[in-house]
A and B are shown apart, each in its own frame.
Chain A
Amino acid sequence: DAGVTQSPTHLIKTRGQHVTLRCSPISGHKSVSWYQQVLGQGPQFIFQYYEKEERGRGNFPDRFSARQFPNYSSELNVNALLLGDSALYLCASSPTSGGPIDEQFFGPGTRLTVL
């Protein structure tokens, strides 16, 4: 079975632009979470979605938004990009809405560079 897939793999944007990152969970998984991992740091939790509803949110500004589609895939949108948004963006899926007890399966990430 295919794992979590993310697109694109790499992305270069300039300050002020908008970006959309995409994630497809493992087949049968209904929950998707997004993380930001700045170089040399641990992942920072951004959002969790289950059945198209937001179930968790980290401490990120409103420039960050996400949504989940009926097929459980998800998009992460970031508006008005800042240099500090340069990071690896990770998507993780889990089979249930069990929330914090769920084992999460991570994708390879999207490397975003903001110039």
Chain B
Amino acid sequence: AQKVTQAQTEISVVEKEDVTLDCVYETRDTTYYLFWYKQPPSGELVFLIRRNSFDEQNEISGRYSWNFQKSTSSFNFTITASQVVDSAVYFCALSEFTTSGTYKYIFGTGTRLKVLA
């Protein structure tokens, strides 16, 4: 069965520290997409990145970087020089087509990141 595991329930770091949020997924499909979303205290999920299963290149966007490794079914997210504004719940998600031609999204349970000043 398809599954997304975020084993870290909560992480606390001091401002300016680097932090890595782990995401491990399970799927039987060869074509799928992985996402990271941020949910600040306001509640609205904010899209951060999308990666398809055929693109294993790591990506960097400012202080954010993502490491996708199909061999270990992981899609980890690193924040460099964390800031208080990074405090939020971060969700990893997997989407894939079903045999009926529709698709579904599966979110992990989220990692709450607290960045302390």
Q: How large is the interface on B (under 10, 10 to 19, 20 to 34, 35 or more residues)?
A: 20 to 34
- Please, what's the 1-or-0 string for A76-96, where 1 marks a CB less than 8 Å from any CB in chain B? 000000000000101010000
Interface residue ranges, A against B (CB under 8 Å): 3, 33, 35, 40-45, 48, 54-58, 88, 90, 92, 99-101, 103-109
Residue from B4, B44, B98 in contact with A106 in the complex, judged by beta carbons closer than 8 Å = B44
Residue from B37, B46, B47, B104 in contact with A58 in the complex, judged by beta carbons closer than 8 Å = B104
- Please, what's the 1-or-0 string for B73-117, where 1 marks a CB less than 8 Å from any CB in chain A? 000000000000000000101011110001111111110000000
- Chain B residues whose CB sits within 8 angstroms of the CB of A88 once the complex forms: 43
The answer on a CB contact under 8 Å between A100 and B43 is no
CB-defined A-B contacts under 8 Å, sample of 30: A3-B44, A40-B109, A41-B109, A42-B4, A42-B108, A43-B91, A43-B107, A44-B107, A45-B104, A45-B105, A54-B102, A56-B98, A56-B104, A56-B105, A57-B104, A90-B45, A99-B95, A99-B97, A100-B97, A100-B103, A100-B104, A101-B33, A101-B50, A103-B50, A104-B45, A106-B44, A106-B45, A106-B46, A107-B44, A109-B43
Q: Which 6 A-B residue pairings sit nearest by Cβ, starting from the closest?
A: A42-B107, A100-B95, A106-B45, A56-B102, A100-B103, A45-B105
- Chain A residues whose CB sits within 8 angstroms of the CB of B4 once the complex forms: 42
